[in-house]
Amino acid sequence: MIEIKNLHKKFGKNEVLKGIDLSINEGGIFSILGPNGSGKTTLIKSILGMVLPDSGDIFINGKTLKNNYKYREKIDYLPQIANFPGNLKVNELIAMIKDLRSGQSTNDAELIEIFKLQPFLNKRLVNLSGGTKQKVNLVLTFMFDSPMVILDEPTSGLDPISHLRLKNLIFAEKQKGKTILVTSHILSFVEEISDEIVFLLEGKIYFKGSIPELKSKTEQPDFEHAIASILSSSYA
Amino acid sequence: MFYLLLGIVLLFLNNDLSKAVITLMNVIIILVPLIGTIFGVMYYYNSREFTELLLAQPIKRSSIFLGQYFGVATSLAMSLIIGLGLPFVFYGIFNSSAIWDFSLLLVTGAFLTFIFTALAFVIALSNENRIKGFGYAILLWLFMAVIYDGIFLMSLLYFEDYPLDKFSLVATMLNPVDLSRVLILLKLDISALLGYTGAVFQKFFGTNFGLILSSIMLVLWVVIPTFFIWRIAKKKDF
């Protein structure tokens, strides 16, 4: 489980996270929502240790993240923008990441099959389209069997079929009892998969709970309107 | 490849080993830092995506960045040693008296590579903006290779009424480019060219103490920037 205590982060003068307190229990799918620039990615990167918080603590399974890197063995991360070294071929990249986490079982062959990546395996990453890169990204993320999966905008650039397959994949992972953290702007996707949502607004947690709770809180009949009502009331 | 070509061309032009070594010195003193700086900065910026990929994996930050640094610097130093070494080996350096001068040249060249690649990494790590990073790196090289000498000379002229032995020794020590140049020049026994200062330098650097001290300085020039790489990398956000 993840516990975040009073997390603050500034980039220059821009205060992105203004005191986040959050605890995420094991098992289930959690969505982090919020408008652009609300700090979703920063929060995720803080959990991964890529962004170092100005103050506050993050504990994963009771252990603090400071001066610790081993915990990342138990996390699979899908970055928002699929930036890969362009001169590598797809299978070289997969082999390299496997090599970095040697000793962990992988199911990359199955994932390559799911996303129909076989024709691209010998191509260089610079020559791939955005959607295909995202598929490679997904293979790299899901090929390890870690108890925690973090997905930053997993649907970006995917065609409808791949989108559907991704959804099935996420449900399958959930069945295994994994904790899955997702950020997305596609509300129908979020509504379909999430057990619980966290709504970030201007660096603070505006709402945490299930989707029915959000609907009753905002007195709106559906999820999209509920989110819209939060946004319009905050911008007003 | 570049170094290999350079070595062959120089040998053909000079037709004499020790002369080639001297020409080579001038090239090494100026070009090796430039190549180290450019490659260091370029490598860092080019592999940024790759670095981000690695950061999400269970690897220590320091091993990512120090690994990248040593990877680049070692391969540059290897290319220098192999590229320059091969033509000279075929030319028969082992039977020549220039072997020691030549190996000193290669060792200082390798040191310069490590120093300037480390400095380039420090600059690239602290500048998110590529253009700025490149600019600073080139400026650093220009400063060390050219401007520093200019300032040094000006100050010598300006303060010529004072005894400057100590000052010039210290000033030489503080710039790795100058330090390597003086070391090689003295080894080549052409210090007479340097006049009175040469005599002072000879007296200082020629001794074991001087040699050890200058080696320590070169090592420090590698260690301190490497320490900065480690420290900046530890605190940086991605």
Domain topology for A2-235: Rossmann fold (3.40.50)
* Residue B88 near residue B7 (C-beta atoms within 8 A): yes
pLDDT tens digits along B28-63: 888 888 888 988 898 888 888 778 878 877 788 888
d(C-alpha B116, C-alpha B39), whole Å: 10
Identify the contact set of chain A against chain B, taking CB-CB distances under 8 A: 11, 45, 48-52, 69-73, 75, 77, 79, 83-85, 97, 100-101
Residue given tokens 């605190």 in the structure block: B235
Task: Report the residue of chain A nearest B57, measured CA to CA.
Answer: A72
Domain boundaries, chain A: 2-235
The yes-or-no verdict on residue B15 having pLDDT over 60 is no
The yes-or-no verdict on residue B74 having pLDDT over 80 is yes
Bridge partners of residue B27, in order along the sequence: none
**Section A66-72 average pLDDT:** 76
Strands A148-152 and A75-78 turn out to be: parallel
Q: Write the DSSP string, chain A.
A: -EEEEEEEEEETTEEEEEEEEEEE-SSEEEEEE-STTSSHHHHHHHHHTSS--SEEEEEETTEE-TT--GGGGGEEEE-SS----TTSBHHHHHHHHHHHTTTS-B-HHHHHHHTT-GGGTTSBGGGS-HHHHHHHHHHHHHTB--SEEEEESTTTT--HHHHHHHHHHHHHHHHTT-EEEEE-S-HHHHHHH-SEEEEEETTEEEEEE-HHHHHHHHT-SSHHHHHHHHHHHHH-
Smallest Cβ–Cβ distance between B58 and the set A11, A50, A70 belongs to A70
The yes-or-no verdict on residue B199 having pLDDT over 70 is no
**Section B94-107 average pLDDT:** 74
The yes-or-no verdict on residue B126 having pLDDT over 80 is yes
Chain B residues with CB under 8 Å of A85 CB are 47, 49-50, 53
Task: Report the residue of chain A nearest B63, measured CA to CA.
Answer: A69
Smallest Cβ–Cβ distance between B53 and the set A11, A69, A84 belongs to A84
User: To the nearest whole percent, how much of chain B has pLDDT over 70?
Assistant: 78
Q: What is the pLDDT of residue B198?
A: 60
B84 pLDDT tier (thresholds 50, 70, 90): confident
Comparing B14 with B94, which gets the higher pLDDT? B94
Task: Report the residue of chain B nearest A45, measured CA to CA.
Answer: B238
Interface touch B55/A50, C-beta < 8 Å? yes
* Residue B84 near residue B21 (C-beta atoms within 8 A): no
Q: What is the pLDDT of residue A232?
A: 78
Orientation angle between helical segments B176-187 and B195-205, nearest 10 degrees: 90
**Section B148-155 average pLDDT:** 81
Q: What is the pLDDT of residue B1?
A: 60
User: To the nearest whole percent, how much of chain A has pLDDT over 70?
Assistant: 98
Smallest Cβ–Cβ distance between A83 and the set B52, B60, B236 belongs to B52
Those residues whose C-beta lies under 8 Å from the C-beta of residue A218, and which sit 6 or more positions away, are A225, A226, A229, A230
Those residues whose C-beta lies under 8 Å from the C-beta of residue B70, and which sit 6 or more positions away, are none
Q: Tokens at residue B191, please?
A: 């210090």
Alpha-carbon dihedral of residues A214, A220, A222, A223, nearest 10 degrees?
A: -40
A137 pLDDT tier (thresholds 50, 70, 90): confident
Smallest Cβ–Cβ distance between A69 and the set B47, B59, B235 belongs to B59
Bridge partners of residue B225, in order along the sequence: none
Identify the contact set of chain B against chain A, taking CB-CB distances under 8 A: 47-50, 52-61, 235-238
Q: Tokens at residue A66, please?
A: 């400071």
pLDDT tens digits along A15-24: 888 888 888 8
Smallest Cβ–Cβ distance between B57 and the set A52, A83, A100 belongs to A100
Q: What is the pLDDT of residue A217?
A: 80
Residues listed for chain B: 238
Chain B residues with CB under 8 Å of A72 CB are 56-59
Query: What's CA A81's distance to the chain center, in Å?
Result: 12
CA of A48 to nearest chain B CA: how many angstroms apart?
Answer: 6
User: To the nearest whole percent, how much of chain A has pLDDT over 90?
Assistant: 0
Interface touch A101/B57, C-beta < 8 Å? yes
Residues listed for chain A: 236
Chain A residues with CB under 8 Å of B57 CB are 72, 97, 100-101
The yes-or-no verdict on residue B223 having pLDDT over 70 is yes
The yes-or-no verdict on residue A143 having pLDDT over 60 is yes
**Section A47-51 average pLDDT:** 82
Interface touch A50/B54, C-beta < 8 Å? no
What is the residue-averaged pLDDT of chain B? 78
The yes-or-no verdict on residue B6 having pLDDT over 80 is no
Question: Across chain B, how many H-helices and E-strands are there?
Answer: 11, 0
Interface touch A51/B238, C-beta < 8 Å? yes
Q: What is the pLDDT of residue B190?
A: 58
A42 pLDDT tier (thresholds 50, 70, 90): confident
Residue given tokens 């199955």 in the structure block: A110
Nearest C-alpha neighbor of B106 from the set B225, B3, B226, B8: B3
